[in-house]
Structure 1
């Protein structure tokens, strides 16, 4: 047993040493050669542990994220897929099929652009615009990964790889938006458009490879049968918007009512009431854990059931975690009672409000209220009669 432990410790130290050499600027080909000399393979779990140790020792998530592509190139072809696969439920198939469909689309519709030499800027804009719109559909894939799969890694103590990967996802989102902006710009050039677009495509392909070779094997390594069933159920619910009815605890079931500050509601009434409010509500408790999410007809931000029990810092990409933590601290300390933000999301004008929730001066948590106020902003005059 001690030999196994010593070997695991050696593997971790060697992996960490190799990655630190990359961070210090050493040539990737040299590091990859040394990797091949010491390792026949690495597992997704070993990569996760190595990244976690680097962060614990002071390496910034952003630095790991910045060099993420180089890390992947070092491990290319060496990540061992474990437990592949005796599961009766395999929701990863949806993600893997999407990645394969993405590769086929890029091969058939984009690869020719690398060698093409067009000279008509307007035609290039139209040609690339169609493809950027298609690639932006990857948002649904990334959102499912971040909100449904990542919580299960965190549940098993693996938090570094999700943070790094989410940061890279956000960089891809930003790169796609930049493509859209360049296409709409009067100052764009053919070479500038082509360069930005192909660099973005390469990042998307690299992320698909990281998912297939690192993320999915890592999930297979740590997740249990019941975890996979929860993932499958959540994916179905997110697609159909049909959620399982919640279950009340015994005390509520026996009495049939929930006593409120003024009046009382049955369990069914309370649940329906919150889901009928024209806004999304999320409650994070005093321990910074997500405890409740309303389930209205149309949510502005995705909040699948896997968010319940998740630490709030893990519900946001690395680029915005510091803002969330500052908001929570201001509300917890009493420096502020609420904090407001408003952003444009396509045709929606979204108001996001955070409130400190207290009972007899005891801080219970934070309530996030999100709503589309574009219709409210458009109101004029008065309305005093019932409409037809």
Structure 2
């Protein structure tokens, strides 16, 4: 990954942002590249958005499709073992895209059939089928949420924070286009079918472009960056979000390799002309002697003494106006009838409780999100609002913000509070978010004690 290649890529994209035609940029690109690493694309976008070039996140997002077309056919494929297993996150991701593409094709056929028919009864049935298929297409929201909540945090931990930010912004635009297309379909037959087709094709074009970006750029970055443990974490936490149209037919259980020091040394020596000898006593120490033309090099290893875990989670600790063990405190937090999230004073997502199973959460949280900057936990379109809330709480302009909304799909009336957490000296220590379903309280129409009489 030569720095010159990244500079050339930056130069090409800057030309594009400054008004150069897509054709001229493509020609320049083809002159310098026969293959490009997805990692290089990520680094280039990061440097471009964080430089003094004047190119903003919004600029990159607005030209996202042009960027994708620029790299089409040039991005190097990355082969990683196990990714073709039915339960591997990469394979599930691709199978979902296949199923979503098939649903898109069915919607197109139904729209064509609707346009050609003049039988009222048949039009009614076609309309019902159309809405069912649009319901399947709409499951892309699950696919996107898994991507944004499970894959993006790990990407950011490896320093690839620009592609997730751009892609999340485009995801939200696609969500909006789908809502418009579905709303138009729901107005049939009052609305002309040609208008519905137009709305749907605008959505479909952006949606299919995103599939290309996911499979040709995003997954290539992940395959180059992620370790097996990263994929395992995604696989284990995916159930909390669910899947789009398809479900895994098998659980992915990777083959794990454990190397002894001797095997690791043999692997390191493979392909080397240097001869080595090793002595390894039973206490784990070993010594390796490597012969070189100029003499011998001796490498020694002595394991550190393992210290006993001294902290006892069951021991009672002073806690507020009483005492609790860590286990008891955790149980209490998990039994509170609300979802709690704590973001510390450095704006890092530090804790959430388990008041309900992950798949029942109003705002889904998974372990992958712990340690993530709060700004990266929200869609780009909400960033300005999040920043204003945290600024007001941090600076003492407000002690809390409250908001509420009705979730029709879940049948809940959700109340959300963002409260500043301050210590005894009044110093800001973070933000506590607590979320409740208050629909049961709104449904109360009797007096408990009166009913007991």
Partners of 1:250 and 1:197 in 2: CA distance = 60
CA contact (8 A) 1:342 1:352 kept: yes
Partners of 2:183 and 2:382 in 1: CA distance = 23
Partners of 2:4 and 2:110 in 1: CA distance = 46
Structure 1 residue 353 corresponds to structure 2 residue 414: no
Mark the CA change 1:232 to 1:258 in structure 2 (over 3 Å): closer, same or farther: farther
> Alignment partner of 1:281: what SS?
strand
1:264, distance to aligned residue in structure 2 (A) = 2.2
1:236, distance to aligned residue in structure 2 (A) = 4.9
> Alignment partner of 2:403: what SS?
strand
Unaligned segments of structure 1, at least 5 residues? 241-248
Structure 1 residue 104 corresponds to structure 2 residue 168: no
Partners of 2:182 and 2:230 in 1: CA distance = 38
Q: Choose 344-353 or 212-221, whichever is displaced more.
A: 344-353
Mark the CA change 1:250 to 1:238 in structure 2 (over 3 Å): closer, same or farther: farther
Show the counterpart of 2:348. 289
CA contact (8 A) 1:252 1:267 kept: no
Which of the numbers 58, 80, 86 marks the counterpart of 1:84? 80
Structure 1 residue 371 corresponds to structure 2 residue 436: yes
Mark the CA change 1:218 to 1:10 in structure 2 (over 3 Å): closer, same or farther: same
1:344, distance to aligned residue in structure 2 (A) = 2.8
CA contact (8 A) 1:62 1:318 kept: no
Aligned residues: 372
Deviations 1:191-235 (A, max 9, x none): 221111122122222111111111111011111233222222322
Which of the numbers 7, 11, 14 marks the counterpart of 1:20? 14
Partners of 1:251 and 1:258 in 2: CA distance = 14
Deviations 1:116-170 (A, max 9, x none): 5446696475443222211111111111111110011100111010001111111
> Alignment partner of 1:302: what SS?
coil
Which of the numbers 315, 322, 327 marks the counterpart of 1:268? 327
TM-score by length of 2: 0.75
Which of the numbers 397, 406, 409 marks the counterpart of 1:335? 397
Show the counterpart of 1:244. none
> Alignment partner of 1:287: what SS?
coil
Mark the CA change 1:362 to 1:196 in structure 2 (over 3 Å): closer, same or farther: same
TM-score by length of 1: 0.87
CA RMSD of aligned residues (A): 2.7
Q: Choose 223-232 or 116-125, whichever is displaced more.
A: 116-125
CA contact (8 A) 1:282 1:368 kept: yes
CA contact (8 A) 2:148 2:168 kept: yes
Partners of 2:153 and 2:393 in 1: CA distance = 25
Partners of 1:115 and 1:203 in 2: CA distance = 20
> Alignment partner of 1:42: what SS?
coil
CA contact (8 A) 2:314 2:327 kept: no
Deviations 1:339-369 (A, max 9, x none): 1122232232222110001111121100111
Show the counterpart of 1:243. none
1:183, distance to aligned residue in structure 2 (A) = 3.1
> Alignment partner of 2:449: what SS?
coil
1:307, distance to aligned residue in structure 2 (A) = 0.7
Structure 1 residue 256 corresponds to structure 2 residue 321: no
Partners of 1:255 and 1:71 in 2: CA distance = 55
Higher helix fraction: Structure 1 or Structure 2?
A: 1
Show the counterpart of 1:326. 388
Mark the CA change 1:236 to 1:191 in structure 2 (over 3 Å): closer, same or farther: closer
Partners of 1:239 and 1:250 in 2: CA distance = 37
Unaligned segments of structure 2, at least 5 residues? 244-307
